[in-house]
Structure 1
Amino acid sequence: MKGEIRLQNAQVVRHSTNPKRFSIETNTECLQLKAHSNHEAEQWIQALKSLQQEFYKRLSWSPSIATEQQELPEDSSLLNFLALKLGEISGFHAEMQEAVDLIPEKVRSSIPGLQKVLKISSKIKQVALDSLRVIDEEGKKTFPKIKISLINDSENIEKSSFRYSATDINEYQETDRKILFEEECKEIEEIEFEDARSDISDEVEKISNDRQISIVPHRKSLPFLRNPNQKINIWKVVKDSIGKELSKITVPVYFNEPLSFIQRFTEDLTYSEIIERACIENDPQLRLALVACFAVSVYANGTNRTMKPFNPLLGETYELETKGFRLISEQVSHHPPVSAMHCEHLKYIYWGNTEVKTHFKGTYIQAVPHGIFHLVLKETNDHIVWHKPKTNIYNIIMGKIYIDNSGSIEISNFNNGDRATIEYKKKGWFEKVTHELEGSVFDNFGNEKYKIEGKWNEAVIIRNVLSDKVVFGYEINQFPEGYEQSYYFSDYAMQLNSPPDYFINLPKTDSRYRPDQRALENGNLKLAASEKWRLEEKQRHVRKKREERGIEYKPRWFYYDHDEWLYKGGYWDYKNSGDFSDLPDIF
């Protein structure tokens, strides 16, 4: 049996005893629903509430911004408007009740005024519902409707309304990709860019390449400046993506920042000087504490980086020579998307691979990196390994977007058995403090030697447990002037996509040659969208041909061994040869 209900005039109500159940209610209709699990029920509730909020936001007239001279839109009637506003009252009451439910019972009972407010709010809600009953039938043709299955205790929600299977996603992408691209081009018309007066400073960086030297101008901004307050419709992309792996979802180019993920990957080395300090430290536990600070610092400049890097194409590479190290990264797998990196310095070697699984959780996006990272200090032969924490992006539908890390990580020294733990503190509902962490360093006998504390996006210190002496861990570098208009890039990130013309013997698979992200960096969104479309279609075509011929893809610079991607060697000699005829044409 099918039913339909006008969502914007309804309340989404959790069941009082069964967390799998919830209902969508108006004064005249009620749909009783049951999900497969508690988690799925919560995802549905959050998605429905977000959809209501998005509907309200899209209306061009609202009393909160109206003046006496403003009029209702021509295509609206007074009846429609009243129905909408009365529905909002019910929605606000539900939000208020939900917020109060988060307050402990003992605290609620000690605040008499709170109960009085709730009673008054309930009366207002009832007046709204009585009014809705009168106009409900009259307004049915005015508002969009949501269709959903009515269910018994033994029935489950039909997933087709908000969720797709993996097969459905593939079919949808194959048949409607062109339609999505055309819609994206329409959205692009509203994105604002501004020409940067001068994006190059007088500084240059010399990159030696055996007998040759590349001189790369130091950029102080991107060529075109983006309005950091630009409004974009994220709901259009994520509304059908709850619980899905977002790497499989087509994302419009205006959600991207002009870097590929394998370029963003190299930002791990932004504060590589911490490693150099660890290399000359005699105290093994303090060495480990410094390495722990380095492991934390990889996210230090990312607080406002809410735009998505471009998904690397299979076989795409990126090289970087700076700050005394040289680094090569490669996209070694497309499904699942895996990036590998190898960095060499006179004093250390750093390598790792990561598969970032990104999921939309209804009100926030969670990125979970899977992969191990290694650091070998050559002088002491310390071999230190760790995993990265989860990252959450909150308020993606409404409110101020912010990023926070969560969970704990362990940094272990295989050489002597020392270990460190870092706990990222999760921000509470009513707390203003964010981005805090605390950790400890233990010797191989389990004795605590050092504490690590601070904010990962500001500064971190190391404290000796016995002497209470403080050792500086790191403090974030000053951001470039006006960095907000350059996608909130740090000075380090600003240099990562310098034009390929400045580099000698740059292989044609390097990310700097990507035409879509180069166009985005230059403020040409239409070209960026069309090039992104072309590259993705080209990659699908090549993959299809490869599968038809039964050819197994093998990365050029990395090989798979015991759940890790390791560097084969030979990249820099190959680069110096200047003969790239055997590289695939991926761009």
Structure 2
Amino acid sequence: MASRDQKQAGGGFFSSIAYSLSNIGTAMHKSVNGLLGYEGLEVINPEGGAEDAEEEAQRGRWKQEDRDSYWKMMQKYIGSDVTSMVTLPVIIFEPMTMIQKMAELMEYSHLLDLADECEDPYMQLVYATSWAISVYYAYQRTWKPFNPILGETYEMVNHGGITFISEQVSHHPPMSAAHAENEHFIYDITSKLRTKFLGNSVDAYPVGRTRVTLKRAGVVLELVPPPTKVNNLIFGRMWVDSSGEMIMTNVTTGDKAVLYFQPCGWFGAGRYEVDGYVYNAAEEPKILMTGKWNESMSYQPCDMEGEPLSGTESKEVWRVAALPENDKFQYTHFAHKINSFDTAPRKLLASDSRLRPDRLALEKGDLSKAGAEKSSLEERQRAEKRNREANDHQFTPRWFGLSGEVTTTPWGELEVYEYNGKYNEHRSAIDASEIVPEVSTESIEFNPWQYGNLTTE
């Protein structure tokens, strides 16, 4: 197993990251320089073929003239963080925002329910880590989500007894916070994605803090995910790969799970594969975990050398759910559920992502209207910022606040936002009221600015 080999070699988180990034280049690639005249750009074929680089280069979603103009616009950003760029064409977007995408981690939330119900501390980590891996199937979509407007929110109910709220808490740098809760667990995340644009690819580093509290078990888990690379942005068939270590730590007991995401190698070797161990606080392996992040995960008790215990069998703990056929945006059934109003609560906040006119237009296939609405929202956001600065006001999120805690991640420090509890009060008051009028969601105008809560500095 790769994880076991690294452990024996004295590798750790940072060494495995370096190993991963150096070996991601082992995916078979061929320069398109001379094929299309774009020096330095490469087409990387995940299946490892070398003879079809030119064919791959022509399989991008762009027309030739689109590629020309896009490349002229983007080449000046090579080596830069492009997370907050707002000038990207709507053709590369999916009808979902980043704070909606955060909710996709809730699809297999029953795994956290099982972790909370479980008495075995090592199986708690098996369930919780499988939950963290389960979202990667959805993360391999190659469309870009919309950047949320400052103050934009997303609410979700009617799924596993969960109440979910996310909010865009900062515009520069772009930061989001989310809170989810049911009878078994509490989930909190502060997310600040950092990227590095490389021309025909982009590296994405998840500068964030994810914390899960299991209520019955009384333990706190923290997650550090691996980085992700999006290949063939302009030329070739776009595809996504994640490589490196995922670490889930039980901060209450010191136990942890360390799983290694294999980089895609020659002829697709190793692509999607994940393996690793659940360790006790003394760093002794207790459970072996293997699988593929786009398919399933299994576990098996192991000995002190990391070998499966005799007389035991590998048991499946998670498998990706059935998928829609030929879906335009490669959505899962749950992704469609996130976008629908079936998961919206009564009296939906006007700042909710579902109501964005650019997202709605793109969902209906009207790219022209989607582009115009996107530009309008971005200009309105810039105008709001000018007005706020002119009046010496400071934006304050409605549902989250700075905790004062700064956490260190492998890719930089992060100011942590914490849930303030006010959304529970807001939702409880509405749910308890019998006079809340039924309002058609189509009649609600998207408006994140009314929840700015501007205060004088």
Normalization by structure 2: what TM-score? 0.75
Q: 1:306 aligns with which of 126, 132, 142?
A: 142
For residues 158-199 of structure 1, what are the alpha-carbon distances to aligned partners after superposition, in whole Å with 9 as ceiling and x for unaligned?
xxxxxxxxxxxxxxxxxxxxxxxxxxxxxxxxxxxxxxxxxx
CA distance in 2, matches of 1:253, 1:396: 14
2:324: which partner in 1?
A: 480
CA distance in 2, matches of 1:287, 1:501: 28
Q: CA deviation at 1:310?
A: 0.2
Structure 2 portions without partners, runs of 5+: 1-20, 22-30, 43-58, 304-308, 406-414, 431-435, 438-443, 453-457
Between 426-435 and 543-552, report the one with greater CA deviation: 426-435
Describe the shift of the 1:431–1:531 C-alpha distance in structure 2 as closer, same or farther (beyond 3 A): closer
CA distance in 1, matches of 2:217, 2:334: 29
Q: CA deviation at 1:430?
A: 4.6
Between 420-429 and 573-582, report the one with greater CA deviation: 573-582
Instruction: Kindly indicate whether the alpha-carbon contact (under 8 Å) linking 2:84 and 2:147 is maintained by their aligned counterparts in 1.
Output: no
Between 342-351 and 495-504, report the one with greater CA deviation: 495-504
Q: Give yes or no for the alignment of 1:573 onto 2:425.
A: yes
1:498: which partner in 2?
A: 340
Who wins on radius of gyration, i.e. which is larger?
1
Q: CA deviation at 1:500?
A: 8.7
Q: Give yes or no for the alignment of 1:241 onto 2:106.
A: no
Q: CA deviation at 1:560?
A: 0.8
Instruction: Kindly indicate whether the alpha-carbon contact (under 8 Å) linking 1:500 and 1:506 is maintained by their aligned counterparts in 2.
Output: no
Structure 1 portions without partners, runs of 5+: 1-38, 40-48, 57-90, 96-227
For residues 46-69 of structure 1, what are the alpha-carbon distances to aligned partners after superposition, in whole Å with 9 as ceiling and x for unaligned?
xxx65754448xxxxxxxxxxxxx
Q: Give yes or no for the alignment of 1:458 onto 2:300.
A: no
Secondary structure of the residue that 2:138 maps to in structure 1? coil
Describe the shift of the 1:553–1:408 C-alpha distance in structure 2 as closer, same or farther (beyond 3 A): same
Q: Give yes or no for the alignment of 1:523 onto 2:365.
A: yes
Q: Give yes or no for the alignment of 1:282 onto 2:119.
A: yes
Instruction: Kindly indicate whether the alpha-carbon contact (under 8 Å) linking 1:519 and 1:528 is maintained by their aligned counterparts in 2.
Output: yes
Q: CA deviation at 1:481?
A: 2.4
Instruction: Kindly indicate whether the alpha-carbon contact (under 8 Å) linking 2:155 and 2:345 is maintained by their aligned counterparts in 1.
Output: no
Q: 2:349 aligns with which of 476, 489, 507?
A: 507
Instruction: Kindly indicate whether the alpha-carbon contact (under 8 Å) linking 1:427 and 1:434 is maintained by their aligned counterparts in 2.
Output: yes
Describe the shift of the 1:239–1:490 C-alpha distance in structure 2 as closer, same or farther (beyond 3 A): same
Instruction: Kindly indicate whether the alpha-carbon contact (under 8 Å) linking 1:500 and 1:513 is maintained by their aligned counterparts in 2.
Output: no
For residues 195-226 of structure 1, what are the alpha-carbon distances to aligned partners after superposition, in whole Å with 9 as ceiling and x for unaligned?
xxxxxxxxxxxxxxxxxxxxxxxxxxxxxxxx
Secondary structure of the residue that 2:339 maps to in structure 1? coil
Describe the shift of the 1:401–1:501 C-alpha distance in structure 2 as closer, same or farther (beyond 3 A): closer
1:417: which partner in 2?
A: 254
- Aligned pairs for 1:396-435 (under 5 A) are 396-435=233-272
CA distance in 1, matches of 2:109, 2:201: 31
Q: CA deviation at 1:473?
A: 2.1
Q: 2:397 aligns with which of 549, 555, 579?
A: 555
For residues 315-368 of structure 1, what are the alpha-carbon distances to aligned partners after superposition, in whole Å with 9 as ceiling and x for unaligned?
000000112211000000000000100001101111111111122123321111
Aligned residue identity for 2:102: F
Secondary structure of the residue that 1:534 maps to in structure 2? helix
Describe the shift of the 1:246–1:453 C-alpha distance in structure 2 as closer, same or farther (beyond 3 A): same
1:389: which partner in 2?
A: 226
Q: 1:341 aligns with which of 169, 178, 196?
A: 178
Aligned residue identity for 1:272: S
CA distance in 2, matches of 1:431, 1:282: 39
For residues 539-583 of structure 1, what are the alpha-carbon distances to aligned partners after superposition, in whole Å with 9 as ceiling and x for unaligned?
001111111222111111101110311101121432444699997
Q: Give yes or no for the alignment of 1:470 onto 2:314.
A: yes
Q: CA deviation at 1:229?
A: 8.2
Secondary structure of the residue that 1:357 maps to in structure 2? strand
CA distance in 2, matches of 1:407, 1:481: 31
Q: CA deviation at 1:480?
A: 1.2
Instruction: Kindly indicate whether the alpha-carbon contact (under 8 Å) linking 1:50 and 1:397 is maintained by their aligned counterparts in 2.
Output: no
2:189: which partner in 1?
A: 352
CA distance in 2, matches of 1:394, 1:229: 11
Q: Give yes or no for the alignment of 1:315 onto 2:179.
A: no
Describe the shift of the 1:450–1:480 C-alpha distance in structure 2 as closer, same or farther (beyond 3 A): same
Q: 2:387 aligns with which of 542, 545, 558?
A: 545
CA distance in 2, matches of 1:248, 1:445: 42
Percentage identity across paired residues of the two chains:
32
CA distance in 2, matches of 1:353, 1:335: 14
Instruction: Kindly indicate whether the alpha-carbon contact (under 8 Å) linking 2:249 and 2:256 is maintained by their aligned counterparts in 1.
Output: yes
CA distance in 2, matches of 1:584, 1:246: 24
Aligned residue identity for 1:403: V
Q: CA deviation at 1:419?
A: 1.0
Instruction: Kindly indicate whether the alpha-carbon contact (under 8 Å) linking 1:411 and 1:421 is maintained by their aligned counterparts in 2.
Output: yes
2:161: which partner in 1?
A: 324
Between 468-477 and 416-425, report the one with greater CA deviation: 468-477
CA distance in 1, matches of 2:247, 2:343: 42
CA distance in 2, matches of 1:502, 1:402: 31
2:8: which partner in 1?
A: none
For residues 22-47 of structure 1, what are the alpha-carbon distances to aligned partners after superposition, in whole Å with 9 as ceiling and x for unaligned?
xxxxxxxxxxxxxxxxx9xxxxxxxx
Cα RMSD of the aligned pairs, angstroms, is: 2.8
CA distance in 1, matches of 2:358, 2:236: 30
- Aligned pairs for 1:46-445 (under 5 A) are 52-55=34-37, 230-231=61-62, 233=66, 235-236=70-71, 237-249=73-85, 250-303=87-140, 305-321=141-157, 322-445=159-282
Aligned residue identity for 2:147: N
Aligned residue identity for 1:346: E
Instruction: Kindly indicate whether the alpha-carbon contact (under 8 Å) linking 1:454 and 1:461 is maintained by their aligned counterparts in 2.
Output: yes
CA distance in 1, matches of 2:285, 2:370: 52
Q: CA deviation at 1:498?
A: 1.8
For residues 353-408 of structure 1, what are the alpha-carbon distances to aligned partners after superposition, in whole Å with 9 as ceiling and x for unaligned?
11111221233211111111111111110110012211111122333222110111
